[in-house]
Amino acid sequence: MDFRQITAAERTDKMFPLQAYAFMPSPWPAEERDKYRERMQYYESAVSLVAEEDGQALAGAAAFRMQQNVRGLVHDMAGVASVATHPSARRRGLVRELMRRLLRQMRDEGCVVSALYPFRPSFYARFGFVGIPRHRTASFSPEGLSHLTRAELGGEVEQVSMADGFEVYDAFTRHLLTRRHGFAVFDEVRAAGFRNDRYWVAIARSGGEVVGVLRYRIDRSAGDLRASHLLTTGPVGQALLLQFLGRHVDQVSRIVLTVSTDEVPELWGTDIAVVTEGQVGGPDRNAPMVRVLDMEALTGTPAGPGAVTVEIVDDELIGGVWQLESAAGRLSVTKGTNPVATLSAAGFSGLLYGVLDPVEIGVRGLGDVAAVPVLAEMFPRRMPYIVADF
């Protein structure tokens, strides 16, 4: 078996048949291959690995070059995707070896963290990944926002196509990357592909500054307005975008909006009737997962006070004994001795990302840290919101 990195141009011959078989209705029409080939210009910077036997690709895995904010520090991130094995070659350890090589390569090329959307979380838990929240959706009638219709909010909303609004939209997501825990963006090569997406973009401005953006589609008159994440810098941007949505009363009967776990849509208006739900499960609707690839590069992360030495076990990338020390609100990570707590890679990643506290790590079998309350103080609970989907 040969394992090698392939170019974006090679992906159509090597990876498309594996991915199409795994993820699309099949047999697929001939034009699907051409559509895939056209998209490959946006995969030029991705790292694509295949396992080949006698020149035939039997399995593949790839990583997009992305960036993610983790507790305030922006890191290079490997966004893992395109993982598939030919049915006749499954359960032979091919993806295990591809993932091992891919994560190591991405770490060696500077990625400090990695994220993915799993078909089955327990599969990727074996590779040190831990779950973070999946987004919620809020569904409501535009009438629920009628109190905003005539309000003077000190700003305005421009509505443009994604083709026309792409630069503003993309720049705003890169601005939010510096501000929001968990937020992730693609590199410019991959992001350029989103310019062609058939969406409207609502751009909220106040005092000349962009304070919110919203990507959406309308399915039909009296139907749904379906929007993706409500991206704002704060309450002014949010109010402007909600006012814009409210002005669709009598045009659409329902607005469906993607929101983070800390958003509370019932507080958007006094009489608003809204269903807020999070659905998780099944191969295409799981919560994202993340992991740390490089411990020392976490130095500088905002953290609560404390010092502790931990051992991370059973992990090729971050295994070892680490001295974690927080002074003046910033973490330093160095090699240590005499650990007082044991963690798996997933357990440590859960602490760093703020999704698990030490007691939960013990309960979940991801480490033995329950007796170390300082870890809870250093890594307080804080829900990440990844937004990017891949």
Ligand X SMILES: CC(C)(COP(=O)(O)OP(=O)(O)OC[C@H]1O[C@@H](n2cnc3c(N)ncnc32)[C@H](O)[C@@H]1OP(=O)(O)O)[C@@H](O)C(=O)NCCC(=O)NCCS
Contact between 22 and ligand X by CB under 6 A: the answer reads: yes
Total residues at the site for ligand X (CB under 6 A)? 17
Contact between 85 and ligand X by CB under 6 A: the answer reads: yes
Q: How far apart are CA 45 and CA 63, in angstroms?
A: 9
Contact between 120 and ligand X by CB under 6 A: the answer reads: yes
Rounded to the nearest 5°, which phi and psi values hold at 228?
A: -90, -150
Q: Considering only the stretches 82-90, 223-231, 244-252, 299-307, report the one whose residues sit in contact with ligand X under the rule CB under 6 A.
A: 82-90
Output 120 or 335, the one with its CB closest to ligand X. Answer: 120
Min dist. Cβ of residue 314 to ligand X (A): 12
Contact between 92 and ligand X by CB under 6 A: the answer reads: yes
Among 77, 83, 184, 201, binds ligand X (CB under 6 A): 83
Q: Considering only the stretches 91-99, 132-140, 203-211, 353-361, report the one whose residues sit in contact with ligand X under the rule CB under 6 A.
A: 91-99
Q: How far apart are CA 346 and CA 48, in angstroms?
A: 24
Contact between 91 and ligand X by CB under 6 A: the answer reads: yes
- The DSSP-derived string for 80-129 is EEEEEE-GGGTTSSHHHHHHHHHHHHHHHTT--EEEE--SSHHHHHTTT-
Output 93 or 373, the one with its CB closest to ligand X. Answer: 93
Contact between 290 and ligand X by CB under 6 A: the answer reads: no
Output 94 or 115, the one with its CB closest to ligand X. Answer: 94
Min dist. Cβ of residue 375 to ligand X (A): 28
> How many other β-carbons are positioned within 10 Å of the β-carbon of residue 84?
21
Contact between 123 and ligand X by CB under 6 A: the answer reads: yes
Query: Would you say 370 and 342 are in contact if contact means Cβ atoms under 8 Å apart?
Result: no
Q: Considering only the stretches 85-93, 203-211, 224-232, 316-324, report the one whose residues sit in contact with ligand X under the rule CB under 6 A.
A: 85-93
DSSP helix/strand/coil, 141: coil
Output 99 or 201, the one with its CB closest to ligand X. Answer: 99
Amino acid (one-letter) located at 90:
R
Contact between 346 and ligand X by CB under 6 A: the answer reads: no
Among 94, 191, 203, 293, binds ligand X (CB under 6 A): 94
Judged by CB under 6 A, the chain residues 50 through 79 that form the site for ligand X are 59
Among 72, 93, 320, 336, binds ligand X (CB under 6 A): 93
* Residue 274 β-bridge partners: 140
What are the residues whose beta carbons fall under 8 Å from the beta carbon of 191, sequence distance 6 or more?
Answer: 170, 185
Distances (CA, A) of 377 to 82, 143, 323, 367, 371: 38, 44, 16, 17, 13
Q: Which helix (H) or strand (E) covers residue 159, if one does?
A: strand 156-161
Min dist. Cβ of residue 133 to ligand X (A): 18
Output 148 or 289, the one with its CB closest to ligand X. Answer: 289
Query: Would you say 290 and 132 are in contact if contact means Cβ atoms under 8 Å apart?
Result: yes
Query: Would you say 9 and 40 are in contact if contact means Cβ atoms under 8 Å apart?
Result: yes
Min dist. Cβ of residue 349 to ligand X (A): 18
Min dist. Cβ of residue 96 to ligand X (A): 4
State CA 387 to chain mean position distance.
Answer: 5
What are the residues whose beta carbons fall under 8 Å from the beta carbon of 22, sequence distance 6 or more?
Answer: 84, 85
Binding site for ligand X (CB under 6 A): 22, 59, 83-85, 90-96, 118-120, 123, 126
